[in-house]
């Protein structure tokens, strides 16, 4: 039970913290963004090496290492997209009147290179861990990949919360591909399918022959799946989806407010002084 609780808490913390770090990094200066991309790329390559190293490890430590390496590899995908480095050829907003197949094509073109990058990294992880006893890293990456694809589809079909606050300024055009509505027909299917997979993981965890390492790995992967399901519900429930990462988002908002203040104050003072000058001239 102790190993289960530790793994559960570790997965929740790393999910919350890593998401906030990615949000924070892509809102910094261009120099900081470039540096973060370099560091993330090095960590991503190191993660692949780490997955190869832990693929044949059957202990608890190996499960944690594989899980962390998969998150580092996924973090590179997220950061490369949110910084605008790897996105797609469509880099402008579409008209609200665009619908049907043209809307889907434009939406796909906005992220196609990113999707290809995710596929390449996923295939690399699959090859590295093929037939190996430690599949925690592969399972973690697949959960993140499938559930993130599901979230993108739900944003395309329409949900209540578009989470546009998470988009940096240079990706603001992506909001035009989203649709705001209470729910869509795909959402129940996505959540029900993910819930069924989560139930299978919980059922496996309760089997008497499960080793401590298998138990920890199942909890780590299952927790990420459960959190992804929670994220899906955050798309349709009337709640503030940015509350958990306010500390990462507020930094950019405070910069915007500061810049606005610095711009508005001189203008106000100039207007005020001009009015005094005119009053003086009249008198």
**Percent of the chain having pLDDT more than 90?**
69
Q: What is the distance between the alpha carbons of residues 226 and 121, in angstroms, rounded to a whole number?
A: 23
> What span, in angstroms and rounded, lies between the C-alpha atoms of 147 and 86?
20
pLDDT confidence of residue 247? 75
Residue 254 is assigned to a structural domain of this protein: no
Using the predicted structure, report yes or no on whether residue 257 has a pLDDT greater than 70. Answer: no
C-alpha 231/C-alpha 210 separation (Å) is 29
What average pLDDT does range 213-233 have in this prediction? 96
Percent of the chain with pLDDT over 70: 87
Q: pLDDT value at position 251?
A: 54
Q: What is the mean pLDDT of the chain?
A: 87
Residue 223 lies in a domain: yes
Task: Determine the pLDDT at residue 269.
Answer: 46
Q: Is 152 part of a structural domain of the chain?
A: yes
Is residue 259 a part of any domain in this protein? no
Rounded distance between C-alpha atoms, residue 129 and residue 133, angstroms: 8
Choose the weakest-confidence range: 214-228, 245-259, 267-281: 267-281
Q: How confident is the model at residue 274 (pLDDT cuts 50, 70, 90)?
A: low
| 28 has pLDDT over 80 | no
Which range, of 24-28, 155-159, 206-210, averages the lowest pLDDT? 24-28
Q: For residue 66, is it within any domain?
A: yes
In angstroms, the CA 82 to CA 78 distance is 6
Please compute the mean of the pLDDT values over residues 38-64 and round it to a whole number.
Answer: 95
Distance from C-alpha of 191 to C-alpha of 170, rounded to nearest angstrom: 31
Lowest mean pLDDT among 56-60, 66-70, 261-265: 261-265
Least confidently predicted of 2-16, 58-72, 222-236: 2-16
**Domain tally, the chain:** 1
Distance spanning both ends of the chain, measured CA to CA: 85
Mark out the alpha helices in 129-245 (DSSP H runs). 136-157, 186-205, 212-236
Asked if residue 271 belongs to a domain, the reply is no
| pLDDT tens readout for residues 115-152 | 999 999 999 999 999 999 999 999 999 999 999 999 99
User: Is 28 inside any structural domain?
Assistant: yes
Which range is least confidently modeled, 49-63, 112-126, 265-279? Answer: 265-279
pLDDT at residue 265 in the model: 46
Q: Specify the higher pLDDT residue, 157 or 255.
A: 157
For residue 254, is pLDDT > 70?
no
Domain of residue 109, residue span: 2-245
Quick one: pLDDT at residue 280?
43
What per-residue confidence (pLDDT) applies to 38? Answer: 92
Q: Does the pLDDT of residue 260 top 70, yes or no? A: no
Q: What is the CA radius of gyration of the chain?
A: 23
Contact 77, 148 (CB under 8 A): no
88 assigned to some structural domain: yes
pLDDT at 1: 67
């Amino acid at each position: 039970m102790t190993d289960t609780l530790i793994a559960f808490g570790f997965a929740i913390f790393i999910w919350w913290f890593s998401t906030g770090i990615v949000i924070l990094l892509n809102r910094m200066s261009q120099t900081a963004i470039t540096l973060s991309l370099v560091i993330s790329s090095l960590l991503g390559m190191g993660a692949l090496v780490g997955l190869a190293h832990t693929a044949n490890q059957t202990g608890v430590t190996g499960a944690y290492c594989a899980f962390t390496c998969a998150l580092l590899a996924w973090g590179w995908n997220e950061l490369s997209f949110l910084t605008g480095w790897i996105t797609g050829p469509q880099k402008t907003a579409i008209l609200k009147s665009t619908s049907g197949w043209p809307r889907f094509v434009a939406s796909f073109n906005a992220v196609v290179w990113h999707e290809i990058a995710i596929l390449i990294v996923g295939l690399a992880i699959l090859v590295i861990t093929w037939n190996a006893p430690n599949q925690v890293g592969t399972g973690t990456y697949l959960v993140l990949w499938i559930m993130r694809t599901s979230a993108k589809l739900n944003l395309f079909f329409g949900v209540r919360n578009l989470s546009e606050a998470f988009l940096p300024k240079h990706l603001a055009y992506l909001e035009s591909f989203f649709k705001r509505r209470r729910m869509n027909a795909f959402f129940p299917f996505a959540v029900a399918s993910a819930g069924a997979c989560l139930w299978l993981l919980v059922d496996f965890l309760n089997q008497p022959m499960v080793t401590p390492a298998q138990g920890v790995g199942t909890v780590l992967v299952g927790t990420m799946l459960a959190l992804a399901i929670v994220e899906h519900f955050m798309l349709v429930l009337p709640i503030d989806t940015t509350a958990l990462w306010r500390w990462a988002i507020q930094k950019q908002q405070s910069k915007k407010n500061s810049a606005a203040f610095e711009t508005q104050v001189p203008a106000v003072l100039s207007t005020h002084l001009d009015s005094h000058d005119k009053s003086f001239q009249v008198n």
